[in-house]
Amino acid sequence: MENKGLLFIPDISGFTQFVSQTDIQHSRLIIQELLELLINSNEIGLEISEVEGDAILFYKFGESPRLEELYKQVEKMFVEFHRHLSVYDLTRFCQCNACRSAIGLSLKVITHYGEFTGYNVKNFSKLIGKDVIVAHQLLKNDIDQHEYWLITKSLLPGDRPADLTQWMKWDCSAKQTENGEIAFHYTQLTQLKNELPPIPPLQLGLTDKIKMLSLTREYDAEIIPLFHASGDFKYRSQWQEGVKAVEELTHFLPRVGMRSRRILDNGEEIVYASGYSFTWEKIEFSETDEDKKASSYFTLEKITDNKTRLTVDYYIKKNGVNELLFKLFQKKKKEGEWRRSLENLDKVVKGIKLPG
């Protein structure tokens, strides 16, 4: 059994169109997140041979897990994949083609049992064997829909697999290869996506707050470039006074719930992106410190195609003593910092290059 084992390939459906028709910068990051999620969803001890652009070649030498165990693994990856996309679609800041269309991606999984072995090329481990070729050939088939689980007869104890859930229905087909016909069964996984519960809203902002400052400035800029300039962490140290650098702690792309560490002139702080709403005429987002003591609310309003108003409202947690101390010792300084920051932002927005 040392040269026999399971080949398990989750493959992102819609990848080619997604990459070819959207911004490469953000499509790359979205695919990267999804592939890492699939790797982290591995619960049956699968090894990774290689990541193949839109797919991962997993393998496991020895006897194959039972069909029920394989299904649980397929279910885990498929559900986590679509839950991640649903959350991202609800919380994403970006409106580029890649970020808007990511929700249309899906997943198919190929499982095959056969003979193969490994070899090393410098620091890379690779698999070789006719069954590795067979598993990859099965990715190209005559199945109409592209969110399914495919298993070959090499994994079946009988003529056809059992229905592992009430909704599961199996179809059969075959793939003609140079090594002969490869028979397989497949079942659609769409029902798993349909059964996902609604994503609850994240509660990250201040629930009991009071506004202490409000500053407004108009910019000769379109609303989307100004949104990127003010909301994207990579620009923050270029305009917000007192911020020397920003390190992202979670997520590759900006969304509600992401955390960042701000390196300040006098220390550091952890901040959440705590809220977001979008229309082409008005964009709102907020940031709240990890201890939930203060929040900054940003409101961008389109005046004309080339002119946008930005309002920054600063809140603290409602508390009589803290409110008084803020007014006496912090308000004037904080107001000056924000006024100068908004002036600095005017220069930054002029250099913004948008993703597609």
Contact 92, 254 (CB under 8 A): yes
What percentage of the chain reaches a pLDDT higher than 90?
67
Which domains, from first to last, does the chain contain? 4-194 (3.30.70.1230), 209-349 (3.30.530.20)
Check pLDDT > 70 for residue 1: no
Residue of 108, 118, 105 whose CA lies nearest to 48: 118
Tokens of 3: 């040269």
156 vs 84, which has greater pLDDT?
A: 84
Residue type, 142: D
pLDDT tens for 112-149 read 999 999 887 777 778 999 999 999 999 988 888 889 99
Contact 316, 323 (CB under 8 A): yes
* pLDDT for residue 215: 97
**Averaged over 31-53, what is the pLDDT?**
94
- The secondary structure of the chain, three-state, reads CCCEEEEEEEEEECHHHHHHCCCHHHHHHHHHHHHHHHHHCCCCCCEEEEECCCEEEEEEECCCCCHHHHHHHHHHHHHHHHHHHHHHHHHECCCCHHHHHHHHCEEEEEEEEEECEEEEECCEEEEECHHHHHHHHCCCCCCCCCCEEEEEHHHCCCCCCCCCCCCCCCEEEEEEECCEEEEEEEEECHHHHHCCCCCCCCCCCCCCEEEEEEEEEEECCCHHHHHHHHHCHHHHHHHCCCEEEEEECCCCCCECCCEEEEEECCEEEEEEEEEEEECCCEEEEEEEECCCCEEEEEEEEEEECCEEEEEEEEEEECCHHHHHHHHHHCHHHHHHHHHHHHHHHHHHHCCCCCCC
pLDDT tens for 177-213 read 777 888 899 999 999 999 999 888 777 778 899 999 9
Check pLDDT > 80 for residue 156: yes
- Between CA 117 and CA 285 the distance in angstroms is 52
Residue-wise over 40-50: b if at least 16 C-beta within 10 A, else e?
ebbeeebbebe
Average predicted confidence (pLDDT) for the chain: 91
The band of 355, judged by pLDDT with boundaries at 50, 70 and 90, is low
* pLDDT for residue 309: 98
Check pLDDT > 80 for residue 356: no
- Strand order across the 171-177 sheet: 47-51, 56-61, 4-13, 106-115, 148-152, 180-188, 171-177
pTM to 2 decimal places: 0.84
Check pLDDT > 70 for residue 306: yes
Residue of 237, 208, 239, 134 whose CA lies nearest to 176: 134
Q: 233 to each of 52, 61, 119, 304, 333, how far by Cα in Å?
A: 31, 45, 43, 26, 23
